[in-house]
Structure formats: C-alpha cells, structure tokens
Structure 1
Amino acid sequence: MSKPVFVLNGPNLNLLGKREPHIYGHETLADVEQTCRALAAPLGLELAFFQSNAEHQLIDWVHQARDDAAAIVINPGAFTHTSIALLDALNAFEGPVVEVHISNVHKREAFRHHSYVSGRADAVIVGAGVQGYELALTHLARKLKAA
C-alpha cells in the first residue's frame, strides 16, 4: 500500500488503561498501537498512529490525511458528541473512515448517543473494547483491496 491508514485518537485516550478501567479496560493506548501494528503488516497496511487532547490537532491530522492517508480509523472520544468542526474536516477527506468506540456508547449517558462523526463514517464499531480497532483495520484492508 502506498499510503498509510491514519489511526486518530481523541481526548483522554492517553489515559487508556488507567481511566475508568471498568468501562475502557486495562490495555493502554501503547498496547492498542502495538496490537494494531502487529495486525497491519499481514493485512498489507501501514499505519500512522496519533493521539491528542486538542480538537484542532485532530482536525489538522484529518487535513493531512487528505494527501497522506488511504483511510482513517478515528476514536474521537468526547469530540464525537460535540465537534461539528471535526465532522467538517472528515467530510473533506475522500477515503474511507471507520469510527471506533471502546465502550458501547448507546448503553451510557444519553448525551453519548449522538455522534457527529457517524454522519461521515463508512462504518461504526462500538462496544467491542479495544478489539474495535482490529475490526476497523480488517474492514479497511478488505475495502481498500477491493477499490
């Protein structure tokens, strides 16, 4: 593959494994990245893995993806429910987008039931724990090979 898949992680995901492990599990974001990289190679994918607590940084990475990425996997964290700006940036990206949430947001507080990002996502994976990232990469590998 000539361009990598950008894996974008939003606010508080740097605390994965430490923050509310009863909801998000004990794996750290470094564990998730290691698992994703191990899976990517056999799938024929390259990855660029990012995390930021800053909305503008996620938007800048989506803008960069326009030229530099084949696809995006995004766990926008709380920006899922608030960021029209992130949606606008994703709408300007022409490749496939998969939205991932570790917890089942539909079993949580009502404000978490709405996602601006889902309006652009080609697939949405919720409630599969950190395995959601693996499912997203497997889906994208098939989708990109078929294109």
Structure 2
Amino acid sequence: MLEVGTKAPEFTLPDKDGNMVSLADFAGQKVVLYFYPRDNTPGCTRQACAFAGAYEEFKNINAVVIGISKDSVASHQKFAEKHGLPFNLLSDPERAAIEAYGVWQEKKNYGKVSMGVVRSTFVIDENGVIEKVMPKVKPDTNAAEILAYLRGEK
C-alpha cells in the first residue's frame, strides 16, 4: 500500500455515467479517495451513505470525494441512484487504480483466502501528494474520521 508523502498515482476511469474522470481533474483540491469492495453490499452501502450524508461538509472545505471499486459503470449508476450518492463513483474492472494504490490484497473470510479490495481511504493534497492513508477502514466511521482529519480535529 502507498505511504504518506508519495505522489498519488494518476488514473483515468469512467464514472457512473461513462464520463472519463482523472485524478488530475482535481488539482488544487483535496481528494478523498476511497476504495471499496462492492456496490450494494451492507458495509459498502453504509460507507457510501455516510460519505453522501457528509457531502456538503466535504464541499465546504474544498474536498472532493471519489469512490472506486471493480463494479461496472451500470452497477455504479444503479448504486448511486438507489442511495442518492452525489459524489463520483469510478469503475475499475481492470484494477488499474486498485493495484496502483496497493489495495488489491489477500483477504481471509471464514477461513477462506482470496484476493480482493481492502477497504482503504487516501487523502490526496492539492499538489497530488498522499497526505493520509487509512487501510482497513470501518464503513460506519470512515467518512466522519476523514472529515475530522480535514478539519484538523485529529
């Protein structure tokens, strides 16, 4: 997984509407980049809804929220519509960004070992440098923890 002080890997991926979105599009803004395993699963839904609930607060401090998973554009579109998600969801079925950020890792579930996306969040500064890395985040508290960090509360 990438470390604080590392230049954030560039990516260009389609959003829920099929528009191509690049990290470079957000130069000059803080970017909250979160990777999650799958649309419409309980934890991922709670995490996305928490970011949606705090979306205006992120906007007020000039921070952009972007979620990335392996799900398709169509899946993201349904997920965003169903839960009213106002931020970018990017589709990465080839795992380009997922692997570049080091979040494709071995996971254990009920004793079974498989590869998958480890729920992780990165804060990228206005110059494209990673300033905070949060591996294995909890879906229910991730948005609030990031918001507190950006406000200087932690």
TM-score normalised by L of structure 2: 0.39
Give the structure, 1 or 2, with the largest relative contact order (CA under 8 Å, sep 6 or more): 2
TM-score (normalised: structure 1): 0.41
Which structure dedicates a bigger proportion of its chain to strand? 2
